[in-house]
Every structure is written in structure tokens, then in C-alpha cells.
A and B are shown apart, each in its own frame.
Chain A
Amino acid sequence: MNFPVLLGKELTEQWRTYRFLVIVVVFVAFAGLLSPIVAKLAPELLKSMASSSGQMVIIQLPEPTVADVIAQFLKNLTQIGVIALILVAMGTVALERERGTAATVLSKPVSRLSFLLAKFTALTLVFAVSLALAAAVCYYYTVVIFGYLDAGIFLRVSLLAALYLWVWLAVTFLCSALFKSQIAAGSLAFGGYVGSSLLSIVPQVKDYLPGALIEGAGKLSLDAPADVGRAVTMSLAMVAICLIVAYHIFERHEL
């Protein structure tokens, strides 16, 4: 079993090709740093814009709270975070087929299952570390700016966000195993992301979509009851299905 050798190569590749650095910077900057700052400054900004317009506009905004920080954190992760994720993961299998490196490696004693699992594990680790760093930075600045943030709630919110990102990672990975072109893989994954957002307006299905994780996380931040059990189960099932289908498709590809 040469899974550790393959995983080592994948992690080194993420590091040497600066993908890991890019993901960390995007997550930490947008989700970690900007979330508490934007939550704090947005109301001030709105007020100053209204007063500078010279008209008598009375805007009454509630004082920003940590719930606003979490909402901003979730928004940044589910938008910029997902786009960054698709861009980084879309070539993971497709590029190896397109460039011929898959044929080089798979003519050695390497199973296709190990080949795929090493790639998915490496991507999962890269995004998990990036999200953990972003969450730590966000937590720190929220405590500095707002004085308090419930660590338990924030941890649960972060875990739900992590699962949400993991679903889109698995979907992108599946798309990458489907096509030889990373652009085609990325476009299909992005289409799935947009399609899922559109589907979430249908009440009968929205509780089963990954978006329900983020809705649940939002409720948690407001101390409201959030039943995310069904969404968590569905999301884990989606990850498993994506991986199984990716394997069965990749197993049939001629190289």
C-alpha cells in the first residue's frame, strides 16, 4: 500500500505550487480578518455615507453584535471560499489525465483507489488547515473588537461551515474525475453550486441541501434552536456518493 507516498507527494505539490499558500491567504484574509472588521465598520460606514449626502436621513441601525460577525464569516466562506475551492480543486484529477502524469504513475504498482484517495485527503487537509487558521484569526479579532465570542458556538459554526466546504470539495473532485479538461470540471462544479443555491428556494428540498448547514450555523449564532441533523447526514452522504462515483468513473478511464 503506497498511500503514504502518494499523500506525501500531493501535500508537497500543494505547498510547492503555492496552492496551499493561496488558499490560506484567501481564507484568512476574507473570512478571518475581514469578517469582524466589516461587521463592526459597516453600520458606521452607512451612517457616514448618509450624513455626507447632505439630506436629512435618519438611519437607525442596531449596534453590531458577534452574530453579525458570524453571518459575515459564513457569507465569505460560502461565496469567496467556495469559488477559491473550485478553482484549486478542479484540476486535481483532470490535469493529471490531460498532462499524462496519471499514466506515468498508474503504470507503477499504484491502485486507482489510492491515487484518488491521496488526492482527496490532501485537498481536505489543505482546506481544513486553512479554515482552522481563518476561524482562529476571526475568533481572535472578534474578541479584540467586540470583547466576547462564545468559543463553543463558534466551534460548532466553524464545523458546519467546514462540512459545507467539504461537500463542494467532493463535488468538484467528482467533476475533476469526470473530465479531462479542468475548465469543464470547474464549470460543472460551479454550475452545481449555483443550481444548489437556486434549489434552496424550494421549501420541500432546502433542508436537504448543503445550504441548510449554513442556515443552521446562522441560527446557532443567534442562540436559536437549530436542527441540522438531517443536513449533516445528507452532506456526509453527498461526500460519500461523490467519492464512490468518482472512483467508479475514474476506474473506467483509459489512460
Chain B
Amino acid sequence: MAAIVCKKLTKHYGPVVGLDGLDLAVPEGSIFGFLGPNGAGKTTTIRLLIGLCRPTAGRAWVAGQEVVFGNQALHTRIGYLAEEPAFYRWMTGREFLIYVGRLFGLGGGELTRRVDELLELADLGAAAKRRIGGYSRGMRQRLGIAQAMINRPPVLFLDEPCSALDPIGHKEILEVIAHLQGQATVFMSTHILADVERVCDIVGIIDHGRLVVQAPLEELRERYAAPVFLVKLEANDRQLTTLADSLHKLPWVGRVEVGENQLRLFARDLAMAKRELPKLVAVSGLTLLRYELAMPSLEDVFVRLVERER
């Protein structure tokens, strides 16, 4: 069963198309990575799905309810972290969580326990009694995630949840999100491909307000990523560039990237590449240090799909 469904969801901002007929179905209990370049329509989609803005056309359903602009009935069943979460700067972190909990009708010992639990989860225990005005961007981001989870929502919308986090905070938040798998549906927008690879099981790629593809991560890799050969050589930049240029002219070779002492070669014809590439490397006279057929990354898929659309 789908926890989130969009049918021809469209949003225009005057002459600008923010979202162009988005069709989407996110299965219940999945962690959905919503990928796209800046300005692709990720935030617009989330704002439409939680009823904070009005669609120009199309409809959407979240947690079995139709999304209606301005109707708060849905809000008991969702959690939302904005791209740049905003708080009352005069409140302390603990006060803000208590305030949000009360808006959900929580109170007494249940609220206190939940707030303590979330403060610990967000690593804000020591700063709980400090004013939010004095929090760093990363601390505000972690508080934003905590407040989004206070009602144990069946559907959680996270708009760029890991932006502004330091590496440790980043890792911890990803662990929290991964832990939600099966318990809640998480709709996570991001442009950090590595995060999607780490925690998401389904990926949607959006560009210019249109869904380019939606599929499980593995299927995406298999379907869209060209095989990548990693060739590490004992050579200087000039020698590597000469070799890359000669390879690039061959019909079975796609893109060739030159790195430090290495080439990344995207094959158009895998069988041909497997047969021909070692010979060509041998003929070049350079010393081979490493040769492998690498797993294509999500970044490869993303770049390929987004470039194809343009």
C-alpha cells in the first residue's frame, strides 16, 4: 500500500513551473530518497504534500488522507522538517519540544519522557536549557528533526535533513533515519547522493519539476548506470590525458575521467570493453597498478539521467 500518492501534481509560481505533473507512489514503510539538483522542485513537492501551499493542478494523498491546502487534519499523522527549520529564538530547546508536543495533545509524564528521549537522540541533552537563539546551525537542524518526530508520525517529511550537520552529526542522523525503516514512511529530499545510497531503499529523481525516474536503488543501478572501469597507472598527467583522449575516440567507450594516477572509463559496450581495454593499457607502455570493474554509483546514475533530460 502506498503511504504517499501524487497524481499529476502541478505547481506554477506565475510563469515559473515549480512542479510539472508529478506522479508518484511511495510504499508504506519505505525510506524514499527524493533526489534532484537545486531548484528541481523537491521543496515545492514537500510543501504541497503537507498542505502548506496550494497546487495549481493535480491531487495528493498522504497516510490515506487527501491533502487539502490549509486543512490541519492530516498534520496529526505527519512530521515535517523544513529545509531551514525556524524556531522561536527566545525558547530553549526543551521548551520548544514541550510546546510542539502540547500542540499534538501530549502532556504529563508521557510528554516529559518523549522530550527527554528526543533530546538524547538529537544529542541536545547538554544544550536543552539554552536559548535556541544561541544554537549553531547544526544544533537547530537536529532540533528540527527531533520536533518532527515528537508525535511518532507514520509519515515523516525531511527536507534536506543532513544539510548543516558536521560529519558525526550527519552519521548519527542517518542512523536515526535508517532505524525508522519499516516503522514509518520517510520522504527525504536531498542532493547528497551518498546519503541516499546509505539509507534509502527507493529513489525518485526529479529535474525541472518533472519526475525523471522512480525505482528501487538496486534496480536503478542495474538499469541506468553504465559499467565503470577503474584503471590505476604509474603515469604523469600528460601521459594519462593522452591515453584518455585515445580511448575516448573508440565507439565502445563513453565518458573517460582523468584522476590522480587513474582513469575512470564508462563503457558503452561491456563485453567489448572487457576484451579490449586490458590490451590497450598494455600497448600504452604504462605500468598497471590496479584494474577493476567498479560498481556504478548513484552519482553516475543521477548525472546520466539528469544530463539525458537536458
Contact = CB atoms under 8 A, between A and B. Distances in A.
A111 B68 CA distance: 13
Contacts of A105: 103
A114 to B, nearest CB: 9
A6 B72 CA distance: 15
Contacts of B86: 99-101, 103-104
Interface in A11-68: 13, 16-17
Given A104-B87, A109-B75, A9 B99 contact: yes
A6 B99 CA distance: 9
Contact of A2 (B53, B69, B102, B147): B102
A108 B87 contact: no
What band does the interface of chain B fall in when counting residues whose beta carbon is under 8 Å from A? Answer: 20 to 34
Main secondary structure of the interface of A (DSSP, over half): helix
Q: Which of B47, B75, B103, B147 has its CB near the most chain A CB atoms (within 10 A)?
A: B103
Contacts of B75: 107-110
A112 interface: yes
B80 interface: yes
Contact of A111 (B72, B90, B102, B147): B72
B58 interface: no
Interface in B63-108: 69-70, 72-73, 75-76, 78, 80, 82, 84-88, 90, 99-100, 102-105
Interface string A105-123: 1111111100000000000
A224 interface: no
Contacts of A108: 72, 75, 100, 103-104
Contacts of B76: 109
Nearest to B54: A254
Residue of B52, B78, B85, B87 with most chain A CB atoms under a 10 A cut-off? B52
B240 interface: no
A237 interface: no
A107 B102 contact: no
Contacts of A112: 70
Contacts of B73: 109
Given A2-B102, A111-B72, A251-B70, A103 B87 contact: no
Contacts of B90: 13, 16-17
Nearest to A255: B52
A254 B73 CA distance: 17
A2 B105 contact: yes
B188 interface: no
A247 to B, nearest CB: 11
Nearest to B50: A107
A5 interface: yes
A47 B75 CA distance: 69
Interface of A: 2, 5-6, 9, 13, 16-17, 99-101, 103-112, 251, 254-255
Given A104-B86, A109-B105, 6 more contacts: A16-B90, A106-B52, A107-B78, A109-B75, A110-B75, A110-B103
Which 10 interchain pairs have the tightest Cβ spacing?
A: A100-B86, A254-B53, A107-B80, A5-B102, A108-B103, A255-B52, A109-B75, A101-B86, A16-B90, A109-B76
